[in-house]
Structures are given as structure tokens and as C-alpha cells.
Amino acid sequence: MPHINTGPGEHDLTASAFIIRTDTPEPTAMVHQHKLLPLKLQFGGHVEKTESPWQAIGHELSEETGYTLEELMILQPHDRIRSTATTTILPYPVMMQTHQFGYIDHYHNDVDYAFVATAPPTQTPGDGESTDFVLLTATEIEGLDDTQMPENVRLAFLFIMEVCLEKWEHVPADTLA
């Protein structure tokens, strides 16, 4: 989906999937070479006007990675509100952040979810999507600079790999919201 808000200083709502693969000798972050920006990034995209961030990440995962929610676990804090009688509780993001998009006066308010995959995706990404996937260890991420992967992406992946992977609950992603 294209940017909804295109004026100077305007913000779009986006959702991102930080995927950790555990079918490798040590946990690895699954990233892709972005089609428009010369960066290694997490997967994700814009939240459309008719969907929640969780709905957006469901279709973005399929389109950009070939994963379905049934193939993934989502990392969730053990202590959390799990349900209410009157509202839908969305999965807890690992981080929510605002960042400038590229080098223009435009911003993304990003809802970041942490996922675990124990195998490669069973499907292929959608037509026109980047298929230049890379698996990176925490040590390899630490060796990258801002010209290769933005700081906020590096810090999120490292937090997930070093803290959340061990301390947070692994919940089947297709059982939430």
C-alpha cells in the first residue's frame, strides 16, 4: 500500500515483523534487502485504513516472506492482559517507534512484532517483492552500521535475540486476535 499521508511532516501507521529463525546453529535474524532503500530491513508495511496492525502484519508476512501465521510463534511477555469482555486485545509489540522514512520529511509510526520461525517459509513471497533474504547472527548485526541497517532495527533485533527469545512466552501466532 502506498503512503496514506503525503504532506510534509505527516505520519503513516506501519507494522513490522522481526523474525528470528531457530533452525540454524544459533538464532538468526531474517531480513531482506529493501527494494527502494539500500538497507537490510525487517519485513512489514503500511496498515490500511480498514485493518488493525495485527491484520496488516498477517498479510505483509505472507506477501513479503511466504510465511503464514500458522508457521510462526509470536513472542509475548508472560505478564500481559490476555482478554477483555468488550474489546479485542492485539498481540503485544516488542517495540513501538517513530522513524523518518528515507531522506524525506515523512514518518512511519511502526508497531513491531517479534516472531520465531523453526523452518523456512512454505510459500514464496508475492510477485514484485524482494527475495533477497539474509540470515544474520547477533554478532553479525552488531557489526553493521547505519548505512547497512538502521540503528532502531539493529537494537530491536538484538533485544529480541538477547532477551525476548529466552524470557518471553512463545505463542502460536495464529491463536491471537
Grouping H, G, I as helix, E, B as strand and the rest as coil, residue 95 is strand
In a domain, 9, yes or no: no
In a domain, 74, yes or no: yes
What b/e readout covers 57-79, taking b as 16+ CB neighbours within 10 angstroms?
Answer: bbbbbbbbbbbebebbbbbbeee
pLDDT at 1: 55
In a domain, 3, yes or no: no
Q: Which one, of 81, 73, 44, lies nearest residue 175 by Cα?
A: 73
In sign, the C-alpha dihedral spanning 30, 24, 163, 84 is positive
In a domain, 62, yes or no: yes
- pTM metric for this prediction: 0.94
**Measured in Å, how far apart are the chain's first and last C-alpha atoms?**
22
- Confirm if 125 and 65 have CB atoms less than 8 A apart: yes
In a domain, 140, yes or no: yes
pLDDT in tens, 41-53: 999 999 999 999 9
pLDDT at 3: 63
Segment 141-153 shows an average pLDDT of: 96
Segment 113-138 shows an average pLDDT of: 94
More confident residue, 101 or 141: 141
In a domain, 6, yes or no: no
Residues near 3 by beta carbon (within 8 Å), at least 6 away in sequence: 12, 46, 101, 106
All three cell numbers of 92: 503485544
In a domain, 5, yes or no: no
**Domain CATH for 48:** 3.90.79.10
- The amino acid occupying position 165 is L
In a domain, 1, yes or no: no
Domain that holds residue 131: 14-175
Pairing of strands 28-33, 133-136: antiparallel
pLDDT at 45: 92
Domain count across the chain: 1
